[in-house]
Amino acid sequence: MPDGKPAGLRCVNLDETYRCTIWSTSEYPAVCRALNPEPEMCGADRDEALAALRELEARTQPDISLVPLQVPRMG
């Protein structure tokens, strides 16, 4: 995903068992290398891990209210 992965979208590099197909390759993104999951992020099962990821994605979404409004000039 050359432009990054939007929040809420499944990574295209995951196989049917949710394992990364590019892990340990030169294509493995820096953001993935930098992710250092802790036990509280992983939870007790897949559902808890996904809930933690959704929360992380929600907390790190850009604040669109900070983007200047582009108003077209009239005449």
Torsion over CA: 14, 35, 8, 26 (sign):
negative
pLDDT at 20: 94
Mean pLDDT of the chain: 84
The tens digit of pLDDT for each residue in 57-72 reads 888 877 766 666 666 6
Please give the share of the chain, as a percent, with pLDDT higher than 90: 33
Contact predicate 7/57, CB 8 Å: yes
| Tokens 């197909």, located at residue | 21
**DSSP, residue by residue, 37-53:** --HHHH-SSHHHHHHHH
pLDDT surpassing 70 at residue 75: no
